[in-house]
Structure 1
Amino acid sequence: MELFRKVIGQPAAFAVTPHRAPHKPLKTFTFMDLTTILIYLAPLAVVLFLYFRRRQLRNEQHALALQESRAAGLGEPVSLHPVFDPLRCIGSGSCVKACPEGALGLVEGKAHLVNPSVCIGHGACMASCPFEAIKLVFGTEKRGIDIPLVKPNFETNIPGLFIAGELGGMGLVRKAAEQGRQAMNAIKDKIKGERDAELDVLIVGAGPAGIAAGLGAIQHKLRYRIVEQEDSLGGTVYHYPRNKVIMTAPVQLPIVGKVRMSEISKEALLEFWNGIVGKTDLKISFRERMESIESSGRGFKVKTSGGEYSARAVLLAIGRRGTPRKLDVPGEELPKVVYRLIDPEQYRGQKVLVIGGGDSALEAALAIAAEPDTTVALSYRGDAFGRVKPKNRQRLDEAQKTGRITVLLKSNVVRIEPGEVLLEAASGEIALPNDIVIISAGGVLPIDLLKTVGIQFETKHGTE
């Protein structure tokens, strides 16, 4: 114990003295340090400023486009179109970039349909949205659109008459093709090998649904024919501007199998379909317009601009753009007469007459006039351009003043000849030297024809 007390009593021998580092003064923040930080931050600040400035300017342009559309009375979409969920939309702009018509824009950080009159409802915007903020609908609260009633197998209320694709409410390329394939499967089951007509099935339209249906007819060994009012296949896609078409999932085609496409241009897609037609010898009659359908016993009599067909079943795979409205004047059947502008560059160096008084006519004339060595005239039967966007009217006034476009108001086409067009104007008859005529007088929707046949419709007011 004594020893223990001695040990305990000697704290100095066992105590641990804490180590204290020598005092170092804090580093002083110098001017050179600040300069170094600014050198690194300055490029980032410039990039951020340019980004947000560009975004602001783009928002202002889109807001102005929306305002102009409403002011011109063009705020109501005429076909399948997107609506946006503002809670899901983060304003990434992916849908704006995906739209080949330039119908969409960002306003106050959210996506909007700023140019409804040019929207054709192909669905590239919906497919491109990573947050599922877009859905495609027909009609609005103010303007209803008629959609045919079809069964799950795509048969209408008239037995043997089927509808697939855009007319039935599906503008997406992939889904339209799938509907065409499924509809042909249903037709095969419907006719059950009966051969009491010239054709087992007549397919009207050579778009995605019509092509897929035609391939299905070959696969099922059916007697078929495809009639197409245009001079090329592709349906609505054929009228896309030169831009990208988004396809986010594989397309399953009869005979061909699964086609994997993630992003493909219009030209490449049409080339692909033309390749399929060549390999499969798909039977398509171009420039043949359907004029009437009549029930005939256990089938149908279909009259077209090229003749008459007897078919056990009919598949309507047509779009909602309708048949182009014609002038019904001599010479309109000439190859130089077209009804839509696809590519202004193809008319470079030519004498072009554009007919119409809407935005599509003005925009076509302006686009062609921008090509070198072109001579452009714009004919309209009215005395003024009414329901057009102010910007288009302003651009037309400038083009007219500079002599790039000749505007012929209160004029009507009398006759179209290979080298000229004769017009009746207030000042008398005009003989206009001409290479190309573009008629932008709108379209005649097939709704009335189908209602005459007896197909039942329902009116959509902004619903899927």
Structure 2
Amino acid sequence: MGFLITAALDPGAGTPEPLVYAVAMVGLWAFYLGRRRRGHQRAVVALAESTASGLTEPVSLHPLIDPIRCLGCGACVGACPEGEILGLIDGKAEMIRPTDCIGHGACRDACPTDAITLVFGTARRGVDIPTLSPAFETTVPGIFIAGELGGMGLVRNAIDQGRQAMESIVELCRERHGQPLDVVVVGAGPAGFSASLAALEHGLRAVTVEQDTLGGTVARYPRGKMIMTAPVELPLIGTVKFREVSKEQLLEFWRNVETSTDLHINYRERVKSIERRGEALEVTTTRATYRTRTVLLAIGRRGTPRKLGVPGEDMPKVVYSLVDPDQYRDQRVLVVGGGDSALEAAAALADTTGTRVTLSYRSEAFGRAKARNRARVETAAAKGRLTVLMKSTPQAVRDGAVDLVVDGSPASIENDAVIVCAGGILPTPFLASLGLELETKHGTA
């Protein structure tokens, strides 16, 4: 105290260093508290908006935060490449925009205390997932699963999981056996393509079959759809640093990789059955029968679209995905669904000259769609290019019209085409024929 008094009485003594440091620390602490307070307020408002709009259920893989382990450091908040999906409320991390989470997992990787677990489903909404070991092997020895079928819908995550699953198969196949093949890869989407490259890289005796074309689900995205992804490791290629890429650009890149690596994929070949034959698995397709030690299923979940189950659904004008909006020019189109694919389809059609678009969704909020897709639909509706019917369900499809119930009242709209974007259903009969076990996830890993 005497030193501080002396410094105050003697201007030549200068400002004591401890006082300078103390003032600086107080200033920094005040700035820190102010910033946290503002972050808390933003998070509270965002969570309230999500709750009021019914946007409370994450649609895919998402973080479950242990409040006891959480330090409230905010590392997870800043790590998410999708923006403010997480926020700090009362010093703890919470999901404030749950429906915008797409399962990057960057939050988990950034957490210094391992307070975050990535899980499927919630207490209110269960998700059926095949039971897998940490090596991606199912309950049937020799059959592995990667990608969307196992819950990994994000392109980057599916690519990673395809590579990792094949690495597990490599370990299993280190000792040669009497079977002609080490692995049959079923599907050439992100997971199957990555796995096939990994099999080629490790010199496995492999065959890849795809019932459609390269890309799987990606190939069925609408024309021009932008795909957000983070840098990813692709076998034989190395780090691929796409940030935002169109469907067409991504498919073209994959085709170039397929050519440059001399990867061979049997397109238009569908698997009919997989059966155990002694120590081998026998895969029967529409073209051949393969005996193999292992099988990697990378078939996705959308191969079997969820149908409306209404009269007239078998009419030719009803389809289950939008590929090219221009084919619906000058038509009256009904899009059914409330997820990203439905909103993307409706918005793309609304931008097509002469197309009259109606979007029908059974709920009162688009709780399964990303914020940017909700914004596109809201903008199109505000400009009169799109009619949105919430709390509505189609009842019958007729020539020139569709009958619906809208908020409890019957209605009919003129119609030339129906695009059902209600998601895909797990190919349960096929999985059951293989003897695979499924489990319903309610917020568990």
TM-score strictly above 0.5: yes
Scaled by the length of structure 1, the TM-score of the pair is 0.63
| 3-state secondary structure, aligned to 2:226 | coil
Aligned to 1:192, which of 173, 177, 187?
177
TM-score by length of structure 2 reads: 0.65
2:438 corresponds to which residue? 457
Any unmatched runs of 5+ in structure 2? 1-8, 13-30, 404-409
Q: For residue 6 of structure 2, what is the aligned residue in structure 1?
A: none
The Cα shift of 1:410 comes to 6.1
Counterpart amino acid of residue 401 in structure 2: L
- Alignment partner, residue 5 of structure 2: none
* Residue 356 in structure 1 maps to residue 336 in structure 2: yes
The CA RMSD measured in Å over matched residues stands at 5.1
Partner-residue secondary structure (3-state), 1:98: coil
Match 1:312 to one of 282, 291, 297: 291
Q: How far does residue 83 in structure 1 lie from its aligned partner after superposition?
A: 1.9
Partner residue, 1:226: 209
Aligned residues: 391
1:63 aligns with: 47
Q: How does 1:323-342 map to 2 (within 5 A)?
A: 323-326=304-307, 329-331=314-316, 339=321
Residue 56 of structure 2 aligns to which amino acid in structure 1? G
* 1:423 counterpart = 2:401: yes
- 2:52 counterpart letter in structure 1: E
Is this contact kept in 2: 1:150–1:156, CA < 8 A? yes
| Post-superposition offset of 1:300 | 3.0
Shift of 1:279: 1.0
Aligned residue among 392, 406, 421 for 1:440 = 421
Instruction: Give the letter for the 1:423 counterpart.
Output: A
User: Partner of 2:226 in structure 1?
Assistant: 242
- Retained in 1: the 8 A contact 2:129–2:150? yes
For 1:14-413, what aligned pairs fall within 5 Å after superposition? 55=39, 58-59=42-43, 61-68=45-52, 72=54, 75-86=56-67, 87-91=70-74, 94=77, 97-99=80-82, 104-106=85-87, 108=89, 111-117=93-99, 119-127=101-109, 133-151=115-133, 154-168=136-150, 172-173=157-158, 175-186=160-171, 188=173, 192-195=177-180, 201-219=183-201, 220=203, 222-227=205-210, 232=215, 242=226, 244-247=228-231, 251=233, 253=235, 256=236, 259-260=238-239, 264-267=243-246, 272-284=253-265, 293-295=274-276, 298-302=280-284, 307=286, 309-313=288-292, 314-319=295-300, 323-326=304-307, 329-331=314-316, 339=321, 353-360=333-340, 363-364=343-344, 367-368=347-348, 371=351, 373=353, 375-378=355-358, 380=360, 385-389=362-366, 403-406=384-387, 411=394
Cα 1:141–1:52, aligned 2, differ >3 Å: closer, same or farther? closer
Q: Is the 8 A contact 2:282 2:290 kept in 1?
A: yes
Q: Indicate how the Cα distance of structure 1 residues 332 and 449 shifts in structure 2: closer, same or farther if over 3 A, else same.
A: farther
Q: CA 1:281/1:351 → structure 2, altered by over 3 Å: closer, same or farther? A: farther
1:412-464: CA deviations, max 9, x gaps? 6758xxxxx843437879453x7xx6431221123453134211234544333
Amino acid in structure 2 at the alignment position of 1:88: L
Q: Contact 1:80–1:169 at 8 Å: present in 2 too? A: yes
CA 201–459 in structure 1, closer or farther in 2 if over 3 Å, else same: same
How far is the alpha carbon of 1:280 from its aligned partner? 2.0
SS of the residue aligned with 1:246? coil
| Pair member with larger Rg | 1
* Alpha carbons of structure 1 residues 349 and 238: separation in structure 2 relative to 1, 3 Å: closer
Amino acid at match of 2:161: A
Matched AA of 1:162: F
Q: Which runs of 5+ in 1 are unaligned?
A: 1-23, 28-46, 416-420
What's the CA shift for 1:169?
Answer: 5.8
C-alpha separation in 1, matches of 2:208 and 2:316:
29
- State the one-letter code of the partner of 1:138: F
Closer/same/farther in 2, CA of residues 89 and 338 from structure 1, 3 Å limit = farther
Distance 1:414 1:183, change over 3 A: farther
Aligned to 2:19: none
Change (3 A) 1:366 1:152: closer
Alpha-carbon contact 1:147-1:168 (below 8 Å) kept: yes
Please say if residues 149 and 156 of structure 1, whose CA atoms lie closer than 8 Å, have aligned partners that are also in contact.
yes
Q: Which stretch has the larger CA shift, 153-162 or 286-295?
A: 286-295
Q: How far 1:123 moved relative to its partner?
A: 2.6
In 2, Cα distance between the equivalents of 1:393 and 1:251? Answer: 31
